[in-house]
Amino acid sequence: MKLLRELLFPVIAVLVAFVVGGVIVWVIGDNPFEVYGLLLGSALTWPDGIGYTLFYATPLIFTGLAVAVAFRCGLLNIGAEGQLYAAAFACAWVSIKLGGTVIKGFDGSPIAYGWASLPAVLLVPLALAAAMVVGGAWGAVPGWLKARFGAHEVITTIMMNFIAVSLVSYFTQYYYKAPGDPIMESVPIGESAHIARLGSFVPGLPERLPLNVAFLLAILACVLVYVFLWRTKWGYEIRATGANPSAAEYGGINVRKQIILAMAVSGALAGMVGINEVLGYRYRYYHEFSASYGFTGIAVALLGRNHPVGVFLAAILFGMLIRGGIFVDAFSQHVTKDLVEVLQAIVILFVAAEALFRGPFSRFGLLKRSKV
């Protein structure tokens, strides 16, 4: 019953968004049933639709969890975007340097980028660790600034986004790009750093789908975040800080430490996006690879009510919308993929304006005010 109540508003918000979106489609001049058929049909077919939906959902699970953890501590982490860029580059850097990348130069002679060529058992964990540590550090800095100087995390995280993107672009452009490559991307990572695509061991799933082991890591991250927040002392202290910092401090909790810890965990989670993109999909750092995952993660956390289960479901929904949006753009008569953005916006609007529904529902005793 409690779960049902938690799910009620997000589900209503999504349904209302679809109805409003349908009206918009109708006004534009397409048949809403056809457009939704296209949207959901393309997102839910096996194997391509589902494979891509889950692939798109993977980074959103990570960033959704990242925002949720910070939010449980009363912090709004707008910096997941920067954290994941810094982390993705770090991940690629380790996989290039220790993966023994060698490319062919203009004259055919090999150019070595790597220092060493480690086997997969060592390299993959190191690359994972690099992504999480750098992402975590990038998140911890605004945490420390908040704890030490009271600098507002919204300002500092958003500033850190710009720094991260510019910094990794600089390194990519001047040190890690193949000579003459017109595309802003690093040289490929060492082959031993590639992580398996799910298609290589799931029957019926073709290996060309980019869905990879990072999706399983994302599920694992959901479980671990749940355990961390609700079953450990640290998680309890983070939640207590988020609920009421003064009371938490009075209760003997070091609030400053909790802020830094929450931001570091948040950054590490956001950084794991790099694993999906670099180790599992492109096998290199690619400029602007993130389709605003860090910012969409805020919406995912909001819709998922800052709970790992909710984040997982919301990320799947957004993954469906991204996948379906491409098909709507391609195969509908008038509607473009902007419809997807309209749908997302309406969902967020309705989730945010929850109080609008709360009145009528609570009158019938269907709902009580939710507790932290």
Partner 1 sequence: MKLRMFLAAALVCALLVAGTSCRQETRADEKGKIRVGIVFDIGGKDDRSFNAAAYDGVKCAETGRHPDGTPCEKPSLGIMLRDVEPGNPTSIEPAMRAFAERGYDLIIGVGFAQAPIMETVAKDYPNINFAIVDGASELPNVASLVFKEHEGSYLVGMIAAKESKTGKIGFIGGMDIGLIHRFAKGYEEGAKAARPDAEVMVNYVGVTDGAWNNPGKGKELALAQIGKGADVIFTAAGNSGLGAFDAVEQAGKDSSGRATHFVIGVDSNQNCVKPGFVLTSMVKRVDNAVYQIVSDVVEKKFKGGFHVYGLEADGVAYSMDKCNQQLIGPDVLQQAEQAKQKIIAGQVKVTDAMKQ
Contacts to partner 1 by CB under 8 A: 12, 15-16, 18-19, 22, 31-34, 36-38, 40-42, 44-45, 48, 52, 56, 169, 173, 180, 182-184, 208, 210, 286-292, 322-323, 326-327, 329-333, 336-337, 357, 360-361, 363-364, 366
Residue number with CB closer to partner 1 (336 or 370): 336
Task: Tell me the closest approach of the beta carbon of residue 336 to partner 1, in angstroms.
Answer: 7
- The DSSP letter of residue 116 is -
- For the stretch 148-156, contacts whose Cβ atoms lie closer than 8 Å and that sit 24 or more positions apart, written own/partner, are 148/256, 153/70, 153/75, 153/76, 153/77, 153/78, 153/79, 153/263, 154/76, 154/78, 156/79
With beta carbons less than 8 A apart as the criterion, state whether 49 and 331 touch: no
Residue number with CB closer to partner 1 (76 or 167): 167
Cis before 47? omega within 30: yes
- The SS3 of residue 197 is strand
Residue number with CB closer to partner 1 (156 or 296): 296
Gap between the Cα atoms of 36 and 24, Å rounded: 12
Residue 22 CB contacts under 8 Å (≥ 6 apart), including other chains: 32, 35, 36
Gap between the Cα atoms of 70 and 238, Å rounded: 9
Task: Tell me the closest approach of the beta carbon of residue 35 to partner 1, in angstroms.
Answer: 8
Residue number with CB closer to partner 1 (218 or 225): 218
Gap between the Cα atoms of 196 and 176, Å rounded: 24
Residue number with CB closer to partner 1 (35 or 213): 35
Residue number with CB closer to partner 1 (29 or 182): 182
Residue number with CB closer to partner 1 (144 or 357): 357
- The SS3 of residue 102 is strand
Task: Tell me the closest approach of the beta carbon of residue 70 to partner 1, in angstroms.
Answer: 24
CA atoms within 13 A on the CB side of 245: 10
Task: Tell me the closest approach of the beta carbon of residue 215 to partner 1, in angstroms.
Answer: 15
Residue number with CB closer to partner 1 (149 or 174): 174
Of 371, 338, 293, which Cα lies nearest the Cα of 55?
A: 293
Residue number with CB closer to partner 1 (244 or 333): 333
Task: Tell me the closest approach of the beta carbon of residue 289 to partner 1, in angstroms.
Answer: 6
Q: How far out from the chain centre does Cα 214 lie? A: 12
Task: Tell me the closest approach of the beta carbon of residue 234 to partner 1, in angstroms.
Answer: 34
Task: Tell me the closest approach of the beta carbon of residue 226 to partner 1, in angstroms.
Answer: 28
Residue 150 Cα distances to 143, 146, 155, 259, angstroms:
9, 4, 11, 11
Q: Which two tokens mark 188?
A: 């490929």
Task: Tell me the closest approach of the beta carbon of residue 36 to partner 1, in angstroms.
Answer: 4
Task: Tell me the closest approach of the beta carbon of residue 41 to partner 1, in angstroms.
Answer: 4
Q: How far out from the chain centre does Cα 167 lie? A: 21
Q: Which two tokens mark 96?
A: 């290039």
